[in-house]
Structure 1
Amino acid sequence: MTAPTSQATSPMARAVGVTVLLTGLGSLLGFVRDLLLGRFFGADAGTDAFLVAWTIPETAAPLLIEGAMAFVLVPLFSRAMEEGADLRGLVSSTLPYLCLGLLALTALTVAGAPLLVGVLAPGIRRADLAVDCMRMASVTILTFGLAGYLSAALRAHHAFAPPAAIYVAYNLGIVTCVWALRDQGAYAAAIGVAAGGAGMVLAQVPAFVRRFGAPLRPARGVALPMLAFLPVALFTLARQSQVFVERFVGSKLAEGSISHLNYAQKIAQVPMVLSLIVATVSFPQLARALAAGETARARRRLADDLLSAAAIVLPATAALLVCAPDVVALLLQYGAFTEADTAATARIMRVYTLGLLGQAVVGVACRVYFCGARASWYPALTMGAGLAATVALARPQWGVTGIAAANAAGITLTAALLLAGLRRQALDLPFHAALGPLGGLLPAAAAATGAGWGARALLAGLPPPIALASTGAAIAVTFYAVAALSGATATLTDTTKITHLIRMRGRS
């Protein structure tokens, strides 16, 4: 019994390792990108204008890469592989028509850029620059859509390295353009976004051609499941609309507010992205298990993914709560990014991190709803409820920290509703059973936060990098020690116990 499990998990372990390595490199280049943006351009009306334009790729990425495209196409390709269908024919009957739709949407966005800027940020100081940047960034609708299609097809084919490398290519394009064209101001970053999007596609084309062959002529066959895509797209857009709310309200605050929100969000989201790596790699397995009606295997997969995500995001939350000013100063406080910018960004980040567990849970749990032949509307409704909470709480008079708190509250509400809804899915999983595997890690996170505050006070006289590293080590050791004492780490590594826990609680 042990040997088959080991053989089965070994390819996944390798896939996770490669994905972690490339995602980490992409995140590192993302830090370099943000460092250069802060150093060369600081946080002013110019960066605010670029960040309003960056809303386009920030919306296209979750919709066309990580979110809707993957949630629809990975199950589609997985079912086709399970049935032994002709994958090359599937590509020829879907990809050309997708390209036409993406081209049309790109052209509409370019033409409507002035209107979009006025809607997204009515109080923006440099509306002209925002329009120019948005028109340049609009090309990512096409390139991100192609990159998302290639990623979904390759992941369903159990090829994970090229899809994991896309953010390396993306951030490398931005870093190169910002460095080489910095005399053009924030517009250089918009050029970099366009170049990086093209790099995402080029990074995957060779692997795609090797596995699926050269593209055939457009053919009729399996059409893109637009009815399945619609609820997934609405869920993804509602989730991304939290950023729209931030930019809209932030445009009415002091100059640089949008930039501070962006820097805080980009740093805080790194652990959330890393926490979803296992779920990303295991998504084809989840889709196949549900397609085959293997409920026990799907439950085990979901529980394992939730635990893995929480084990990464919770200690990172503790670290960011304690060390936010040190992290921001170390990463960004150079050149035009001042000490005041660091303080403002750190305040926002501490509040924003309170929603990281909710972000991770939403990223894992929503996948269950999108694995069937018909995607469920329930995630879109729950995200609508979370967005409504964000809109209600994000008020200009409460400043940028109020915006961050509204974001955290909205995504946490969505996470709770998604877990509660699992009982009505094929998993038939009650809320307390879905939440149960996470319970042992929450006290560990609280203890780690307390230990971090104590360590930071004791180490205040040391050089900042040493104090930061030592405080982070104290947080990690405390978290995993308390988790081990509570038995949570044993559950993390024992899928049999996870399944037993879910069964027992599911019967209660």
Structure 2
Amino acid sequence: MRELLIGRRFGASGDTDAFFAAFTTVSFVFLLLTGGALQGSFMPAYQRLRSRGDIGAARSLLVWTSVLIGGFGGSLAVILYLGAEPLISILYPGFDSRLRNTGALALQILSPIAAIAPLGNLAQSVFNARSSYFAPAAMPVLTNLVVVGFLVVTFAGLGVQSLTLGYLVGYLPWLALLAWTFAERGTHPRAIDASVQRTMLTSLTLLGMLAVFDQLSSVVQRSLLSWFEPGILSTFAYGSRLAGIPISVIVGALGVVLFPRFVAVAATNKNYGKSDIIYVSIAATLTVIVPVSLFMAIDAGFIVRFLFSGSAMDAAAMERLDVVFITYSLALPAQALIIILSRIYMAANKNHALLVISAAFGAIHILLTYLATKWLGWQGVPIATFAYSYLFCTVLLIYLTRFNPMR
């Protein structure tokens, strides 16, 4: 609904390009901490302490992690705010001066999210570890309602900046969710074992580096798109986000439910033993996502026109959206498996292997994108992502058999 309303109100223009550029820049920063890093480092440590009944140590770990993540995220938010103009100029060199100014202002407004989003993600991890799903599920709904509300009410007066203000205000309740995690009864803070802190810091560093390689390619893609005509970057954002909805809904839910089980199995046997949870989870993911992927790709033209007919998008933007939507829809099975396989690697403490593979394929993704845009123009961006997704997924599956042989 959010993407539909944004597309209908603004279409695909230079102003929306500037907004998506700013939001991508902020996302790059907060995903350094939330893009699997917290789930892969904090959640296993927190869950192990709780499973042993050491609730006090688990609470102390939560407080320590909150201070660490909040301090780091806050520092990055300040850097984004102060360096907004040069960052937009460097990352999106194809923008003219007006779009650079629009993007810089949007980046300054959005910069606090770099600190708020990681803390909100930490709160989600805590609730999921406690098998409490309502609050973390309600927060994204609330955020989107606020964004849509701001867009409807302030669109006429603020234009595209109504989006940035909506996102900023929409993320504020995540701090209340974090505060709620500290309200658990019967907990008495207890000293954290230094080895737990060291292990978590090591995992957080490795997975943060992993997020850099993963998100850097996204920034490079949008940087290359800024050289093309205004609106193409926005078209790419709409298409990739709409095609990614099944990933968010289906694979996001599967990941939340399965990851604690991966951790529990790995904790009893480092090689996952004789457990079928790994391959059952892969089969379940493919069983659901492949039919959805094919349906979306086959009916892409109908879906796009049903959603955006009568909007501010012109015919050329609709055609571009078709190409992006189809390509990303066909890439969904590989992207879904990448998410599930990454969680399996994290739970098995194969972070170093995941980092090496991801770094190599992050570089390959950037190279493929650059070459494809040289040969095919803007269409090279989604095509390069399609090729990268299946290559990356294949290598992750092959390496998986090294520590969990197929039966």
So what's the TM-score if we normalise by structure 2? 0.90
| Structure 1 residue 164 corresponds to structure 2 residue 137 | yes
What is the 5 A alignment of 1:93-132? 93-125=64-96, 126-132=99-105
Equivalent of residue 77 in structure 1, options 46, 64, 77: 46
Deviation at 1:299, TM superposition (A): 4.1
Aligned partners of 2:213 and 2:363 also within 8 Å:
no
Within-5 A mapping of 1:356-395: 356-372=332-348, 376-394=351-369, 395=372
Task: Confirm or deny that 1:45 pairs with 2:45.
Answer: no
The answer on whether the counterparts of 2:116 and 2:174 sit within 8 Å (CA) in structure 1 is: yes
Note if contact 1:231-1:375 (Cα within 8 Å) is conserved in structure 2. Answer: no
Structure 1 equivalent of residue 267 of structure 2: 291
Structure 1 residue corresponding to 2:373, chosen from 390, 396, 402:
396
Q: Distance in 2 between matches of 1:380 and 1:351?
A: 26
- Give the aligned partner of residue 292 of structure 2: 316
1:367-413 C-alpha deviation (Å, 9 max, x unpaired): 122125x5522222222232233222224341232110101111221
User: Quick check: 1:229–1:375 contact (8 Å CA) kept in 2?
Assistant: no
Amino acid at match of 1:400: W
**DSSP-derived class of the 2:244 partner:** helix
How many Å separate the matches in 1 of 2:32 and 2:275?
26
Please report how far the alpha carbon of residue 256 of structure 1 lies from its aligned counterpart in structure 2 after TM superposition. Answer: 0.6
Q: 1:176–1:192: 8 Å Cα contact kept in structure 2?
A: yes
Residue 213 (structure 2) aligns with = 238
Once residues 226 and 184 of structure 1 are traced to their aligned partners in structure 2, the CA distance between those partners, rounded to angstroms, is: 42
Shift of 1:49: 0.3
Q: CA deviation at 1:298?
A: 7.4
| Aligned CA-pair RMSD | 2.5
Given candidates 125, 128, 139, the residue that maps to 1:152 is 125
Indicate yes or no: 2:239 matched with 1:270: no
Q: Which amino acid aligns with 1:36?
A: L
Aligned partner letter, 2:111: S
Tell me: CA distance 1:306–1:211, structure 2 relative to 1, closer, same or farther (3 Å).
farther
Identity of aligned residues (%): 21
Q: Which has the higher contact order (CA 8 A, sep 6+)?
A: 2
CA distance in 2 between counterparts of 1:283 and 1:155 reads 10
Aligned to 1:193: 167
> Any idea what SS the aligned residue of 1:54 has?
helix
Q: How does 1:207-246 map to 2 (within 5 A)?
A: 208-211=181-184, 223=197, 225-246=200-221
* Bigger Cα displacement from structure 2, 221-230 vs 181-190: 221-230
Letter of the structure 1 residue corresponding to residue 107 of structure 2: M
1:211–1:412 Cα change, 3 Å: farther
- Contact 1:41–1:47 (Cα < 8 Å) also in 2: yes
Distance (Å, rounded) in 1 between the aligned partners of 2:309 and 2:175: 33
- Select 1:419's aligned residue among 377, 393, 397: 397
Give the superposition deviation at 1:218: 11
Taking the aligned partners of 2:228 and 2:175, their CA distance within structure 1 comes to 37
The letter of the residue matching 2:234 is: S
Correspondence 1:344 to 2:333:
no
The answer (yes or no) to whether the contact 1:385–1:414 under 8 Å persists in 2 is: no
Q: 1:70 to 1:230 in 2, by over 3 A?
A: same
| Structure 2 counterparts to residues 423-442 of structure 1, below 5 A | 423-425=401-403, 427=404, 429=405, 433=406
Structure 1 residues 273 and 212, CA, compared in 2 at 3 Å: closer, same or farther?
farther
Larger radius of gyration between Structure 1 and Structure 2: 1
C-alpha distance in structure 1 between counterparts of 2:336 and 2:192, whole Å: 39
User: Normalization by structure 1: what TM-score?
Assistant: 0.73
2-side partners of 1:169 and 1:188: how far apart?
Answer: 17
Distance in 1, matches of 2:186 and 2:230, equals 51
Return the alpha-carbon distance in structure 2 between the equivalents of residues 356 and 324 of structure 1.
14
CA distance in 2, matches of 1:205, 1:323: 44
Q: Is the 8 A contact 1:386 1:412 kept in 2?
A: no
Change (3 A) 1:328 1:259: same
Q: Is residue 206–residue 352 contact of structure 2 (8 Å, CA) maintained in 1?
A: yes
1:248 equivalent in alignment to 2:223: yes
2:311 counterpart SS class: coil
Which string of whole-angstrom CA distances, capped at 9 and with x for unpartnered residues, describes residues 280-326 of structure 1?
21211110110111755774222122122112221111112111111
Unaligned runs of 5+ in 1: 1-31, 434-501, 503-508
Q: Which position in structure 1 is the counterpart of 2:158?
A: 184
**Contact map agreement 2:335 2:389 (CA 8 A) in 1:** yes
Rounded to whole Å, the distance in 1 between the matches of 2:142 and 2:3 is: 15
Query: Tell me, what secondary structure is at the counterpart of 1:93?
Result: helix
Change (3 A) 1:38 1:92: closer
2:282 to 288, 292, 306: 306
Give the whole-Å Cα distance in 2 for the aligned partners of 1:400 and 1:159. 43
- Report the Cα distance in structure 1 between the residues aligned to 2:274 and 2:176, rounded to whole angstroms: 34
Any conservation in 1 of the 2:60–2:191 contact (CA below 8 Å)?
no
Amino acid at match of 1:177: F
Structure 2 unaligned regions, length at least 5: none
Summarize the Cα distance change of 1:411–1:163 in structure 2 as closer, same or farther, 3 Å threshold. same
How many equivalent residue pairs?
Answer: 396
Q: CA deviation at 1:57?
A: 4.1
